[in-house]
Chains A and B, each alone.
Chain A
Amino acid sequence: MSDLKIGAYICKGCGLGERLDCDQIATVAQRDGKAQVVQQHDFLCSAEGVKLIQNDIDNEGVNRVVIGACSRRAKTDAFNFQGVTISRANLREGVIWIRPDEDDLRETTQEMAEDYVRMACAEAKHSTPPVSAQEKGCEEAVLVVGGGITGMTAAIEAAKAGYPVHLVEKTGELGGYVARMWKDVPRHAPYTDPVDTSVADMVAEIEASDNITVHLNSTITRTSGAPGRFSADISTESGSTETLNFGAIVQASGATPYDASQLPELGYGKSKDVVDRVELEQLAIAANGGPIKRPSDGKEVKKVTFIQCAGQRSDKEGHLNYCSGDCCLTSIKQAMYFKDQNPDIETEILFDDLRTPGAPGEDFYRSGQDKMVTFRKGIVSEVVAGSNGPVVKFKDKILDEDVEEEADLVVLATGMVPNSGVDINEVPQNEPGEWEVNVDSILNLNYRQGKDVPHLKYGFADSHFICFPYETRRTGIYTCGPVRRPMDTQQAIEDATGSALKAIQAIESAKVGRAAHPRSGDLSYPIFRKEGCTQCKRCTVECPFGAIDEDEQRFPVFNESRCRRCGTCMGACPVRVISFENYSVDTVGQQIKNCEIPEEWDEKPRILVLACENDAYPALDMAAQQGNSYSQWARVIPVRCLGSVNTIWITDALNSGYDGVVLMGCKKGDDYQCHFVKGSEMASVRMSKVDDTLQSLSLEKERVATYEVAITDIDRAPKLINDMAETVEKIGLSPFKF
C-alpha cells in the first residue's frame, strides 16, 4: 500500500462560498485534517472539478479523497473515483441548508462546517481503499426447489438468461397445485373468462430446454456454502444422492391447500356435496366442459353456493388468521365453470369482504357479475344436511336477515398454508460434524442458524417484504411464490421472475467478490483480527443474515459472499476486532474525537447524531432541502445501520465531552423497515444497556436517546435533534469537557 495522502476539495458552489468562509475551511483541512493537498473550486461536481480531483489522484498520489460539498447521497456519479477512499463532508445539506442564513448565526454555522471537514479528514485517515473479498465463487447454476408454477417459471426465466438450472420436485411430476386445476384466472387482458393453466406448455418448454435438468421425486438433504459456491445433496425417493454445486438457490416450495376437514361446522365431511376448492377443480376436470355433477348422487348441479373465507381470517383454533389472497378470484372463476356451461345454473358467492387483488382483479369480478354470478354479503353460521342437498344458514348483512338456502353443491373457499420447512426457532441445528437430515426441512441448510430460512408471521418463509420481496436473510437463497406470502398464480409468476433475477445478481456479485444486495457492488467486507477474539459468539448470534459460522474452536468463520456489509457484527463485538476497510470502529470513532469540543464557559454544547444512512440520514437531507432546520450544536455521522453502532462510540463521545447523543434507526419488530432486518432491533437491545454506562459516568440518562425514524420523517427528525438540544439546555452541559 502506498503512503497515505489526503486530498481535501472544498466546493464553493450552491451558495457554500457565500455562506461559509471557505479559505478558513481549507486552512482547517490542512492544519487539523492534515490534508497534504487542499483545493477550492467554484463548482466541484462539474467536469472540470472532477478532473481536478482525478488529476491529483493520478499525478499527485492522492489516495484519500475528502470532498467538502454536498451530502454523500448527492452527486455520487460525479464523485466516483476508483482505488481511493472517498469521505464526504456534508456542508450543503448538513450545514448551510439546515441552518438559517442570519448574520448572528454565521459563527456557529462556520463551526459546523469546519467540524465536518475535520471529521471527514479523520475518517479518510483511518480508512483504506477496499479491495474485493478474497472469497469468490464461480458456480453459475441455479438450484430451484419446487416444481410448481412458481418454480417452473423461475427455472425457465433463469435458463432463458443463460444460466444452467436444476429443478428439484418432491413429487413425480411438474406442475404442482396449478396442474390440478381445470382452468386458471386469466393472466392477460381481456380478463373475462377462465383460461388454460399453461402448465403443459411450461413442462414442454422445460423438457425442451438444454439448460434445465429436472429432478423428480427428489428432496434436498443438505445444503452448504454461500453465493457462488453452494453445494446441495439432491436425494431421490429411492435413496440415491447426487451432490451438485450451485451459485444461488430459489426456494419455490409453494403452499398446501388448507385441510377442510377442520371445518365440520361448514358441513365438510358430513355431506359429500360440500367440497373444498381443490375438489371442485377435480369435479370440473371430470366434467371436461360438460355439466358438473355433484359427488353424492351424480346429479347435475343447478344451484351452487360458494362460501368465502372458509376457515380463514379467523381467530378460531385451527383456522388461518390471514387472508389467502386468491380465493375470491378463484371462486369467481369456479362460478364461471358453471355459468359458462349453462347460464341458468344459479351460482351464489357468499362473502364478507370481497378482495380481488392484482391486474385481473376488478375486471374479472365485473365479468363474473356480468355473467350473473350472484354476490351476496353474508356470514355463514353453518351448513347442515337438507332433503335435496346441503342447506346453508347465513346472515345477509345488507338485508339484515337470517337466511337458509338449499343448494345442490356447496364449495368452501379454503386458504393456503405455506410449505416453509422447519421453524428454526423451534428446531435446533445439529452440532458441527453431527449431521442429521430433517424430512420436514426444505433446504436442510448446514448453517449455524438452522436448517431453513427463518419464518415470518403465520409461518411464511422469510422475505424482506417492505423493500426487497425476494431477499431472505440467507444471501443467495431467494423465496418466491406462496411460500413467502399468500398469492395467486399471476403474482407467483411475477415473483418467480423477480427471484430468478435476484439469483443471477447473487451469482454475478459472488464472481467478482462484491456484495450482492442491498449494498450492491460494495467491495468492503468484514475483516477479523483473530488474535483479539474471545470466542464470545456475539457476532455469529447477532448477524441478521447467518453469514457467520463457527469453526471447531468456536472462532467465527465469515462467509464473505453471504455478508450484506451492514456491520452488525462490528457493533456487536465487545473487543472490537471486526472492521471493514472503509468503515470501522476507528473511522467513526475518530470522527467523533475530531469534532472540536468547546470549553464549558463557551456554552456551546455538542450533540452527536448517529443516523442510519438508509432512512434517517436521507430524511435529514430532505429536511434541509425543504428548508427545515435543526440545532447548530448537532454533528451528524451516518452509519451503515444502527446495528453497526458499537457502544464504545457512545462511551467515547460522552467521555470526550459531548452533551447528548441521538441515535436514529429504522422501525423494528414484525413490521420492520430496517434494510438489514434485525439491525435496528439489535441496536435497541444494546442501547437499552447504555444506562449502566451513563450511571458509571454519573451522567443523566436523558443524554442518550434512541429513536425510530422513517425516511418520510422530514419534520420529525430535525425536531428530535432539537428536543435533545432543549434537554441539554435543561440539564446543563456535560462535566466532561477538558
Chain B
Amino acid sequence: MSNYNQEMIEKYRGNFLKEVQDNVEEGDWVKMCMQCGVCSGSCPLGPHWEHPPQEIFMMIRAGKRDEVLQSSSMWMCTSCYNCIARCPRGLPITHIMHGLATYSKRLGLAPKNQPTAKFAQLFWDNLTRTGRVNELKLGLSLYFMNGFSEGIKTALKMKDIGLGMLKTKRMTPMEILGGHGCKDKKGFHAMLKKAQEIEEARIGKSGS
C-alpha cells in the first residue's frame, strides 16, 4: 500500500488538487468550491470535526496532502446530506467526503484507530463472508474491537438488551456457529471478485 502512496506522490509532485480530481470519487468538483462556508455551517457534526468540509477543500487546494489524507474528518461524515442540499455551487460534498476516505484508505493513510473506519472494515468483512450480515457476530466484533477487557465491559453493559432480544426472538445464539448465508454464495463471491478487478483496473489506469 505504501508503494502505491509513494507512486502517487511522485506522479502528482505536489499538485494535490489534480491528484484528488483524478483519484477521488467526485473529486473534480473540489476546484468549484467558492469558500462560502455553507457546508460547514450546515454540518450537524461540524463542531466535532478537526476540519469542516470548507476547510478540507481549501486544504486540498493549498496542497496539504498529508494533513487531508491522514485526517479523521471525512470519516466523521454521517451522510445526512445537509451540505449537498445547501451547497450553492451544487458540490456533491457528502460523496466527496466518502471518496476522500476511500482514497486515504487505499493509500494506507487512513488514521489507524478511527472508530468509523474500523467499524466499516468489520462490517465489510462480516458481510462478504456469507453475503448476509451476521448481526450477532458483528455486534460481538464491535464490542471487542478495542481489546478483550473492554469487550467484556461493553457486553455486560448491554446484557439487558441482549437478553431482551433473545426473549423476543430477535436474535438467536445459534448464529455464532456460522449463521445463514445468501442463496448463491459462490456467485456472490464471484461478483465481488469481478467488482474488485474492475476497481483495480480503474485505479491502475489512472495510477499508471
Contacts and interface: CB of A to CB of B under 8 A. Distances in A.
A and B are partners in one complex rather than unrelated chains: yes
Interface of A: 344, 354, 365-366, 369-370, 372, 374-377, 396, 398-399, 403
A366 B58 contact: no
Contact of B32 (A369, A374, A396): A369
A377 B61 CA distance: 11
Given A372-B17, A372-B18, A374-B17, A399 B32 contact: no
B54 interface: yes
B17 A399 contact: no
A274 to B, nearest CB: 22
A396 B32 CA distance: 18
Contacts of A377: 35, 58
User: What 5 A-B pairs come out closest when comparing CB atoms?
Assistant: A398-B58, A369-B32, A374-B61, A369-B31, A372-B31
A376 B58 CA distance: 8
A341 to B, nearest CB: 17
19 contacts: A344-B15, A354-B34, A365-B34, A369-B31, A369-B34, A370-B31, A372-B31, A374-B17, A375-B61, A376-B58, A376-B61, A377-B35, A377-B58, A396-B58, A399-B55, A399-B58, A399-B59, A399-B62, A403-B62
B59 to A, nearest CB: 7
Contact of A375 (B18, B34, B54, B59): B34
Nearest to A399: B58
A375 B35 contact: yes
A713 B97 CA distance: 50
Contacts of B15: 344
A372 B27 CA distance: 13
The interface residues of chain B, by DSSP majority, are classed as helix
B62 A396 contact: yes
Contacts of B54: 398
A374 B20 CA distance: 14
B94 to A, nearest CB: 20
A251 B52 CA distance: 51
Interface string B42-71: 000000000000110011011000000000
A336 to B, nearest CB: 14
Given A374-B61, A396-B58, A398-B54, A366 B32 contact: yes
Contacts of A366: 32
Contacts of B17: 372, 374
A371 to B, nearest CB: 9
A400 to B, nearest CB: 9
A374 B15 CA distance: 11
Nearest to B13: A344
Contacts of B61: 374-376
Contacts of A396: 58, 62
Contact of A398 (B18, B31, B55): B55
A398 B32 contact: no
* Most central of B15, B17, B18, B31 by chain A CB within 10 Å: B31
B96 to A, nearest CB: 15
B54 to A, nearest CB: 7
